A and B are shown apart, each in its own frame.
Chain A
Amino acid sequence: GAVVSQHPSWVICKSGTSVKIECRSLDFQATTMFWYRQFPKQSLMLMATSNEGSKATYEQGVEKDKFLINHASLTLSTLTVTSAHPEDSSFYICSAKSGANVLTFGAGSRLTVL
């Protein structure tokens, strides 16, 4: 089946630094990918829709200058958390449409900002 690879799985960084998370569709092309954030015991919250070759569209309340999204190819989208702070610590998950009515999710990236 379709596979979405997300890297890194875990990352710990110091406050004020930037962290990049990659999301790759391994055996299919994804013109659109989605980025979510999930806090403990909370639901997945859609942050932004990443479109290949164009600017991402952000959900209300998500700072586009803080969460930079780049979708430079049909198989890769990246999310960069800039100037990370402890409140940005969360589980970040990407997904891509891999078939009719099917979204395939990456395994997630757990970010801890010290």
Chain B
Amino acid sequence: GQNIDQPTEMTATEGAIVQINCTYQTSGFNGLFWYQQHAGEAPTFLSYNVLDGLEEKGRFSSFLSRSKGYSYLLLKELQMKDSASYLCAVDSGAGSYQLTFGKGTKLSVIP
């Protein structure tokens, strides 16, 4: 079966850096996505990793290690608006985009 684990909740201070981890065990691997989801809203795309290493995009970076089944999302210079759930999702099909999602990590940014 497919299994994706990420912490349920995290709290960080405005202006700080936070790292959200994701481990996965899937039958196949064709890429890992990170999405941001505010309560009651649709997820919005943050990043995509298919090769090992770090992808940087502004204040957000995402890292992947395929051999370890591990990824993290790094958020720098935290802002209050970053308070949201962050979803890790794996495309375990043949690039079919049939994603398996983790339960999400609810990040609370405090002043």
Query: Chain A residues in contact with chain B, CB under 8 A?
Result: 6, 32, 34, 41-46, 49, 91, 93, 97, 101-108, 110
Contact = CB atoms under 8 A, between A and B. Distances in A.
19 contacts: A34-B99, A43-B4, A43-B102, A43-B103, A44-B87, A45-B101, A46-B101, A49-B98, A101-B50, A102-B45, A102-B48, A103-B45, A105-B35, A105-B42, A105-B43, A105-B44, A108-B40, A108-B41, A108-B42
B33 interface: yes
B45 A46 contact: no
B96 interface: yes
A106 B40 CA distance: 12
Interface in B79-111: 87, 89, 96-104
A64 to B, nearest CB: 16
Contact of B45 (A42, A45, A104, A107): A104
A32 B97 CA distance: 9
B3 to A, nearest CB: 12
A10 B60 CA distance: 32
Contacts of A108: 40-42
A44 B45 contact: no
B56 to A, nearest CB: 16
A4 B40 CA distance: 16
Given A101-B31, A101-B50, A103-B33, A46 B42 contact: no
Contacts of A106: 42
Given A41-B103, A101-B48, 14 more contacts: A6-B42, A34-B98, A43-B103, A44-B43, A44-B99, A46-B101, A97-B97, A102-B45, A102-B48, A103-B97, A105-B35, A105-B43, A107-B42, A110-B40
Contacts of A107: 41-42
